[in-house]
Amino acid sequence: MSKLLVFLNPHAGNGGARSFWGSIEPYIQSRLGETIVHTTANPQDIAPILHNAYHHQGIRTVIAVGGDGTNHSAINAIVRLNEQNPHDRITYGNLPVGTGRDWARGIGLPTEPADASAQWLVNAAAAPTDIGKVTFHDRNESDYFLNIASTGLGGEVVRRVNRRPIRRSWTFLAETVGSILTFRPPVLRVRLDGQTWYEGSAYLAALANGTTFGRGMKIAPNARIDDGQFDVILVKGVSRLTLLTAFQRVYNGSHLTHPAVMYARAARVNITVMSDDAKPLSLELDGELYEGRSMTFELCANLLTFLRQPQP
């Protein structure tokens, strides 16, 4: 393996990322070789550091130690650098330290103890992995996401969670229930691979590459990260009582058969807010908050080389 670049966000996990990394760094270095560590809490620093490390230090393997923000910024920087150098791509790995850690759960990476995570990563193999891309037509911008993008209620939950100075194991659950009780579902048009699939009010539309979000909610239990398609889950604009009955089933994945839930698979998804005077739609990409009125989501097959345990 080439020299290893590590991005460490010291504030992740309520400040626990530094001690997490310190406890496993000797083992990682002994197994994976020379390691260059950059400590940064600013996601905007990742792209220029990576560019310099790639071109001047021979870095071809990157690991992020941090929460959703660190992971999201790292994959966007890596994908864009790989696009410029398609025949000499970077391999990426993730040691999640944060509240959610849902990508780790979805691929079977142990979230604790630290030694188990480190051993898993050392033994992981580099494998092609799908990645999502969203284009915001309102402003002609695009971004990539690794795990799940969700609109409406998903964005509102992340907005509320981000307001919490300290996040606990129950924070996502509490803010999800609070959002369900207050959120007004927007009217959306959803098209799958060019065909209209749904028009009407919707609490949530999730475009899933991975299986899990919201700290353990199995929103897309059948999703695979190497099949070239999103699992698309939509929750219709039903009564809040009905919504709560569907929500209680999301932790075991049985919500897909609930009458308020629609489920399909597609490689390309268009979502448009129908009302001209409506505010932009909130959405989250891997836990990072965005908004837009007209968006296209594309599943980019095998765009990222990721350190993971191969799926059967």
**286-295: pLDDT as tens digits:** 988 999 999 9
Residue with the bigger pLDDT between 279 and 135: it is 135
**121-136: pLDDT as tens digits:** 888 999 999 999 999 9
**pLDDT confidence bin for 310, thresholds 50/70/90:** low
Ranges of CATH 3.40.50.10330 domains, the chain? 4-123
**pLDDT confidence bin for 219, thresholds 50/70/90:** very high
Ranges of CATH 2.60.200.40 domains, the chain? 132-301
For 248-272, what is the mean pLDDT? 95
Indicate if the pLDDT at residue 312 is higher than 60.
Answer: no
**229-242: pLDDT as tens digits:** 999 999 999 999 99
Residue 176 has what pLDDT? Answer: 81
**What long-range pairs does 193-200 form, CB within 8 A, spacing at least 24?**
193/266, 193/267, 193/268, 194/268, 197/232, 197/234, 197/262, 197/264, 198/234, 198/236, 198/262, 199/274, 200/236, 200/237
**pLDDT confidence bin for 301, thresholds 50/70/90:** very high
**147-201: pLDDT as tens digits:** 999 998 888 887 777 777 676 766 777 888 888 888 899 999 999 999 999 999 9
Return the CATH number of the domain spanning residue range 4-123: 3.40.50.10330
Indicate if the pLDDT at residue 146 is higher than 70.
Answer: yes
The CATH number of 132-301 is which of 3.10.310.50, 3.40.50.20, 3.40.50.970, 2.60.200.40? 2.60.200.40
3-class secondary structure per residue, 40-92: CCCHHHHHHHHHHHHHHCCCCEEEEEECHHHHHHHHHHHHHHHHHCCCCCCEE
Residue with the bigger pLDDT between 172 and 65: it is 65
Length of the chain: 312
Q: Are strands 187-192 and 61-66 parallel, antiparallel or unpaired?
A: unpaired
**pLDDT confidence bin for 111, thresholds 50/70/90:** confident
Tell me the C-alpha distance between 303 and 90, whole Å: 11
Whole-number percent of the chain with pLDDT over 90: 58
Residue 66 has what pLDDT? Answer: 85
